[in-house]
Amino acid sequence: MALNFRFAIASDLHIAVPNTIAEQAHRFHLVEVSIPAFEVVLENLSKLDIDFLLLPGDLTQDGELENHTWLSKKLATLPYPVYVVPGNHDVPTKFTNDYSIGLADFPSYYHHCGFDYEERLYYTKQIFPGVRIIGLNSNQFDGSGKQEYTGGLEAEQLDWLKQVLTTTKEELVMVMLHHNVIEHLPDQSHNSLGRRYMLENRFALLDILQSAGVKLIFTGHLHVQDIAEYQGIYEITTGSLVTYPHPYRIINFTTDSSGQQSLKIESHRVNSLPNFPTLSDVSRNWLGDRSFRFMFKLLTNPPVNLSPEIAEKLAPSLRYFWADIAGGDAVFNFPEFPPHARQYFESFSATNSIDNNATLLLQ
- Three-state helix/strand/coil letters over the chain: CCCCEEEEECECCCECCHHHCCCCCCCCCCHHHHHHHHHHHHHHHCCCCCCEEEECCCCECCCCHHHHHHHHHHHHCCCCCEEECCCCCCCCECCCCCCCCCHHHHHHHCCCCCCCCCCCCCEEEEEECCEEEEECCCCCECCCCEECCCECCCHHHHHHHHHHHCCCCCCEEEEECCCECCCCCCCCCCCCCCHHHEECCHHHHHHHHHHHCCCEEEECCCCCCEEEEECCEEEEECCECCCCCCEEEEEEEEECCCCCEEEEEEEEECCCECCECCHHHHHHHHHHHCCHHHHHHHHHCCCCCCCHHHHHHHHHHHCCHHHHHHHCCCCCCCCCCCHHHHHHHHCCCCCCCCCCCEEEEEC
Residue 26 has pLDDT above 90, yes or no: no
Handedness of CA 193, 199, 12, 333 (dihedral sign): positive
Mean pLDDT, residues 6-30 taken together:
92
> 287: closest CA among 329, 232, 246, 339?
246
Predicted confidence at residue 22, as pLDDT, reads 81
Entry pTM: 0.97
**How far apart are alpha carbons 331 and 345 in whole angstroms?**
10
* CATH classification for the domain delimited by 5-271+354-362, as one of 1.20.1440.60, 3.60.21.10, 3.50.50.60, 3.40.50.11540: 3.60.21.10
Q: Rounded CA gap, 102 and 147, in Å?
A: 11
What pLDDT, on a 0 to 100 scale, did the predictor assign at position 105?
96
pLDDT in tens, 282-315: 999 999 999 999 999 999 999 999 999 999 999 9
Residue range 319-347, pLDDT digits in tens: 999 999 999 999 999 999 999 999 999 99
Return mean pLDDT, the chain: 96
Q: Which of 114, 117, 152 is nearest to 134 (CA)?
A: 114
Contacts for 187 with CB less than 8 Å, ≥ 6 apart: none
Residue 38 has pLDDT above 80, yes or no: yes
The answer, yes or no, to whether residue 261 has pLDDT greater than 70, is yes
Residues in the chain: 363
pLDDT digits (tens, 9 = 90+) for 135-180: 999 999 999 999 998 999 999 999 999 999 999 999 999 999 999 9
Parallel, antiparallel or unpaired: strands 247-255 and 5-9: antiparallel
d(CA 20, CA 201): 34
Query: What are the domain boundaries of the chain?
Result: 5-271+354-362, 280-346
Distance CA 131, CA 7 (A): 12
**Contact (Cβ atoms closer than 8 angstroms) between residue 135 and residue 122:** yes
Q: Regarding beta strands 247-255 and 261-269, do their DSSP bridges make them parallel or antiparallel, or are they unpaired?
A: antiparallel
Report the pLDDT value the prediction gives residue 197, as an integer from 0 to 100: 97
pLDDT greater than 70 at residue 25: no
Residue 363 has pLDDT above 80, yes or no: no
Taking residues 218-236, report their average pLDDT.
Answer: 98
**What is the band of 118 on the pLDDT scale with cuts at 50, 70, 90?**
confident
Residues 6+ apart with CB under 8 A from 109: 68, 69, 71, 72, 101
Average the pLDDT over 257-275 and give the result: 97
Work out the percent of the chain whose per-residue pLDDT is above 70.
Answer: 99
pLDDT at 24 over 80: no
Nearest to 227 by CA among 200, 203, 247: 247
The partner residues of 340 in beta bridges, in order of sequence, read none
pLDDT tens-digit readout, 81-109: 999 999 999 999 999 999 999 999 999 99
d(CA 196, CA 173): 27
